[in-house]
Structures are given as C-alpha cells and as structure tokens.
Chain A
Amino acid sequence: MILDRNYLHIDKQDQVADWFVKSMKAVQTGSIKLKLEGDLALKIDIINHENKNKIKVDLLQPTFFRTSDDETGLFDKLRSAKEFAKKLTDNEVTISFLRRGGEAITLGSDAKPTLSKIISRSDDLQIDSITETTHLKRDLKTD
C-alpha cells in the first residue's frame, strides 16, 4: 500500500525545477486564466500572506492536461512528488490543485498531512479530498 518510489524524480542538478520553484516564489499576487479553444481550462490564483506564497491551480477541464504515452498519469507523479514538495516548503511556497473548484491535493509549506502521510511518507504533501483526488487521477490518466 505504500509508495516506495518517486515517480516524479528531481535530479539534484535539475535547473528547470529550481527555476520553476524560484519563479513561483517571485510571483506575489494575481491570477492567470487559460482558455483552450475558447473554453476556460485552467485558473491560477496567487496569494501572498506573511511572505508565504499560496498558489491555487484549478483544473477546470482536467482532461486537457493528460500526458500521453505514459503508464502513470500526471497526477500520480504529483502525488508522489516528495522532492518537489520539499523544494516548495524550503522556499515557503504552497501549491493546491483543485478539480473544478474542489481542493484535491496540497504540496509544500502549508501541507499538513495526517492520514495521507501514510501513503506519501512526506510532510510536504497533503491529500485534501479522496473523492476529488480519485476523480483527478482518473481525468489525468491516459486510457
């Protein structure tokens, strides 16, 4: 039942991951909306409170973000992204992934895992809703 592997692995010298986390720290407030073919597919809200960044990523049309040719979906990678979540905590950044408005998973600084710690073995990764997590996992996985 316990995941021993990190599907989403970050090399120590992975500059893309470093750059990505630092960029998220630099963005203080505001929002970004992404429309694909005219339909709202993604909404990102950034809030800065006491020098801590909270980023809410709402996947309004999750199936658009499926990664192809992969046995594990993007969500599996995120759910087991311990190294990435640790990097976020170190930079006082929190990312919450929502599915059509419902909170599914939180990574980084504000994550306070209780039961989900048994699954992820990480202090930086919290499953907010099992129902939303299950739906999101299904949406992001290639059939």
Chain B
Amino acid sequence: MIFMRAGFFDTLKNEECLYEFMSQISNDQTAIQSTNKWSEVAGQVIDRLMGKNMSATYEFHQLTIDMPKAEGPDGKHIGSVKWTINGRIVITTQAYEKNRPTI
C-alpha cells in the first residue's frame, strides 16, 4: 500500500512537472526574441564567469587534445600532435575606479 501511494504521488508529481514544462514552452512562443546568436550567448556566459571581483579556478585532469593533421601550402602535411593537459589555472578579476586620484 505504501508503495502504491508512493507510485501514485510520483506519477502525480511527474504530471505536474510535465504540465508546467508544457506551459512554459507555450509561454516561450510569445517571449520576445532577444539574443539569438551563438557567439553573443557565449560572450554573455564568459562575461558572467569573468565578472568583477571574481575568482575562477579551472582544473584540468588528463585532458587529451588530439590535433588533427593539417595541410600547409602546396598541400604539404604539417603533421598531427596529441596534447595532455594537467594542472590548474586561476583567474582573479578586480574592479577599480578609473579616475581614482594618484598620490
């Protein structure tokens, strides 16, 4: 009986979520179209991550990048390379007043 109740409430919860989700999609159709270019969206996210007075730490663990073969002038093969990146990059941003008087 307990399981039946749990199942019933789960179903109800999922239906509520589905209804809410569908309603939101419906509302989206009337939403004003603003930023819609990939590069602009990427820029906004980067701006957000590089905000004022922020500290961001990027940690790389066995990140393998396989650079494919490239062709140089006259169809010459430049060759390929595999990089493995391990380590940490810390970026700290600080805002300061541009017109601050100097001593």
Contact = CB atoms under 8 A, between A and B. Distances in A.
Interface of A: 1, 3-11, 14, 16-17, 20, 26-38, 46, 64-72, 74, 76-77, 84, 119, 130-131, 133-134, 137
B35 interface: yes
A30 B38 contact: no
Contact of A28 (B20, B25, B48, B65): B65
Nearest to A5: B33
B2 to A, nearest CB: 22
Given A30-B63, A31-B61, 16 more contacts: A1-B26, A3-B25, A5-B29, A8-B36, A14-B39, A27-B65, A29-B62, A35-B56, A36-B55, A37-B55, A67-B35, A68-B44, A69-B34, A70-B44, A134-B17, A137-B21
B34 to A, nearest CB: 5
B49 interface: yes
A131 B14 CA distance: 7
Nearest to A66: B48
Interface of B: 13-14, 17-18, 20-22, 24-26, 28-29, 31-39, 41-42, 44-45, 48-49, 54-68, 82, 84-85
B64 A74 contact: no
A11 B37 contact: yes
Nearest to A16: B39
A40 to B, nearest CB: 9
B38 A10 contact: yes
Q: Which 5 A-B pairs have the closest CB atoms?
A: A30-B63, A16-B39, A35-B57, A33-B59, A67-B44
B41 A77 contact: yes
B21 A134 contact: yes
